[in-house]
Each structure stands twice: as structure tokens, then as C-alpha cells.
């Protein structure tokens, strides 16, 4: 390719300097989906992620050694896709609110032609998002921090309309007080509502500097939980409906583990199983009466 043409392509790339701290972590999940899509037998296919990554002026190479994050992210995305899809099969005209949306492409994968979907994130993230996604009558962006609870005022919901609020890769960057306040406000404003999100263990929440990808950003883990039943103590309306230890699926892809982990998983599978299981999980809450 001629040098002049290369320079022209570089000039077309979208700058990402405005993304710092937690906002930058959206690049980790985008990278994970893009790389996975290009594997011979991908766990998840996301062509949009590949196309977006190609147009961003961002150094993704710093995440290349993060095999654990990459594999964990795509397994988590697939698991959450399945739960949301099942919810929409039961409630096709539901409202879905995706908090901390980043450059998530889930709406494109799951849109059934009826759902009303909202993407909520920091103003700088939504500004970038508008470069690649277009709003419609059923697809809306809200440019606010998820802790600025006025985002709730923008959600249009008919009486008794089922609603699911999800946030992926978000809770660990909020303090316990912030997580609690978010759930309690959701309870007050939207119950009955289903809430779907992922959590990490307390031990993992104390090791940001050792994390294989988050340590490459200025973001910091602030919260973890070892017993999901603790969430029920935050409000009498909260019921733990489902819990999925998605990281145990690492053992289904042993060929993708580093050689040391591969040997350990073959000789003593209970060791990595216990470590992976306790590191993170997806929780699904019923807040208020059932639909």
C-alpha cells in the first residue's frame, strides 16, 4: 500500500484519547470480541467489533497477552446473550436497558423487531458510539454516568411492560455503596424488574495490578463479593433468581490455556475448576414481583 494511502487511512481513524479510567475498559471487551471473531472456530462471532476496532486509533497490542480476559470476556458475552435472548423469547416487547454499554453490539445480535433498547454510558463514550451506531425509534442512547440516576427519567415503559436492566463488566469498578445505591434506585423506579450483571470475587477485586488487561489502564477494581445471597440483604424486594459460574467453561477450551494451566487441568482438574469458579459469575436478580 502506498505511504500516502496509509497516511490517509490513519487520518480517518477515530481518536480515543478522551477515554480514560473505567471508560477505557470498553476497549478490552471490544478487543476480546474482535480477536475471537477471527479465530478458526470462534466461541462468538462479532463482525461489528472487528470493523470498529479497525477504525479506532488505539493501541490494542497491550492486551495481546491477556488470554484470560479474552477468553473470559467472550464466554461471558455468550452467556449473557443467551439469558437476554431467553428473556425476549418470553417477553418479546420488553424494555432492555444496557448500563455501561461501551461499544457493545448485543442489540444487533438479539433485536427481534419489537424490543425497545437503551444504551447508557458516559457522554464521551456515547459520542464515540454514535460514530458507529445509529439510533432509531426502538434503539436509544443516554449520555450519562450510570450513577447519575436521572438516566432513569429517559426510559419509556408502558404500565406492566417487562423490563430487564443489565450491566456487563461494570459492577467491579463501582464501590459497594455505589452498587447498592444503583440496585436500590432500580428497585424504587422500575420494580418489577430483572437485573442481570456479573461480579468478581473479593480476592480478585483486590488485585487490579495483577490483572492481565485492566492493569494496562488506569481503571481500578473496587468491589467483589463471594456469596451472591448477600445481595438479597440490600432490599427485601431482591431475590437471587440465577447464578452462573461462567469461568468454569475455561476447561472446555483447555487447548487455549497456557501450557502450565493445561498440564494442571489434566492432572488435577479440581484446582483450576475451583479457581475459575470463584473468580467471577453472572447473577440474575428478580427485583419486585414477577411479571
Average pLDDT over residues 181-194: 97
pLDDT at 274: 67
pLDDT at 11: 45
d(CA 159, CA 157) in angstroms, rounded, equals 7
Half-sphere exposure of 36 (CA within 13 A, CB side): 28
Predicted structure pTM score: 0.92
User: What average pLDDT does the chain have?
Assistant: 91
pLDDT at 124: 96
**Domain assignment present for 8:** no
pLDDT at 60: 95
Is it the case that residue 255 has pLDDT exceeding 90?
no
Average pLDDT over residues 158-180: 97
**Domain assignment present for 56:** no
3-state helix, strand, coil in the chain (%, to 5): 50, 15, 35
d(CA 258, CA 10) in angstroms, rounded, equals 34
Cell of 282: 453472572
Question: Strand 193-200 relative to strand 163-167: parallel, antiparallel, unpaired?
Answer: parallel
pLDDT at 279: 86
Give how far the C-alpha of residue 209 lies from the chain's centroid of Cα atoms, to the nearest Å: 20
**Domain assignment present for 71:** no
For residue 283, the enclosing domain spans 79-287
Q: How many domains does the chain have?
A: 1
**Domain assignment present for 41:** no
**Domain assignment present for 257:** yes
d(CA 234, CA 288) in angstroms, rounded, equals 13
- Looking up residue 271, the CATH number of its domain turns out to be 3.40.50.150
- Convert the pLDDT of each residue in 145-156 to its tens digit: 999 999 999 999
Please, is 22 exposed, middle or buried when counting C-beta atoms within 10 Å of its C-beta (0-12, 13-18, 19+)? Answer: buried
**Domain assignment present for 221:** yes
pLDDT at 12: 58
Is it the case that residue 18 has pLDDT exceeding 50?
yes
**Domain assignment present for 44:** no
d(CA 291, CA 277) in angstroms, rounded, equals 31
pLDDT at 259: 73
**Domain assignment present for 154:** yes
- Convert the pLDDT of each residue in 53-74 to its tens digit: 999 999 999 999 999 999 999 9
What lies within 8 Å, CB to CB, of 203 at 6+ separation is: 224, 278
Amino acid at each position: 500500500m502506498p505511504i500516502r494511502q496509509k497516511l490517509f487511512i490513519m487520518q480517518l481513524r477515530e481518536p480515543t484519547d478522551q477515554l480514560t479510567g473505567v471508560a477505557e475498559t470498553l476497549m478490552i471487551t471490544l478487543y476480546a470480541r474482535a480477536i475471537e471473531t477471527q479465530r478458526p472456530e470462534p466461541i462468538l462471532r462479532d463482525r461489528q467489533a472487528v470493523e470498529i476496532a479497525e477504525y479506532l486509533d488505539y493501541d490494542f497490542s497491550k492486551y495481546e497477552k491477556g488470554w484470560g480476559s479474552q477468553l473470559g470476556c467472550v464466554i461471558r458475552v455468550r452467556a449473557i446473550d443467551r439469558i437476554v435472548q431467553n428473556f425476549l423469547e418470553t417477553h418479546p416487547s420488553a424494555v432492555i436497558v444496557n448500563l455501561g454499554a461501551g461499544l457493545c453490539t448485543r442489540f444487533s445480535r438479539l433485536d427481534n423487531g419489537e424490543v425497545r433498547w437503551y444504551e447508557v454510558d458516559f457522554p464521551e463514550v456515547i459520542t464515540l458510539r454514535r460514530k458507529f451506531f445509529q439510533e432509531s425509534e426502538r434503539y436509544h442512547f443516554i449520555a450519562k454516568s450510570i450513577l447519575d440516576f436521572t438516566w432513569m427519567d429517559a426510559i419509556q415503559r408502558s404500565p406492566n411492560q417487562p423490563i430487564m436492566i443489565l450491566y456487563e463488566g461494570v459492577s467491579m469498578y463501582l464501590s459497594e455503596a455505589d452498587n447498592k445505591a444503583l440496585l436500590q434506585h432500580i428497585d424504587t423506579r422500575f420494580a418489577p424488574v430483572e437485573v442481570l450483571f456479573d461480579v468478581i470475587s473479593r480476592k480478585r477485586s483486590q488485585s487490579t495490578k495483577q490483572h492481565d488487561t485492566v492493569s494496562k489502564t488506569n481503571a481500578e477494581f473496587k468491589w467483589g463479593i463471594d456469596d451472591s445471597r448477600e445481595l438479597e440483604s440490600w432490599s427485601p424486594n431482591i431475590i437471587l433468581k440465577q447464578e452462573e459460574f461462567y469461568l468454569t467453561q475455561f476447561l472446555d477450551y483447555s487447548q487455549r490455556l497456557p501450557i502450565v494451566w493445561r498440564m494442571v487441568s489434566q492432572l488435577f482438574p479440581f484446582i483450576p475448576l475451583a479457581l475459575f469458579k470463584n473468580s467471577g459469575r453472572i447473577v440474575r436478580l428478580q427485583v419486585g414481583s414477577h411479571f
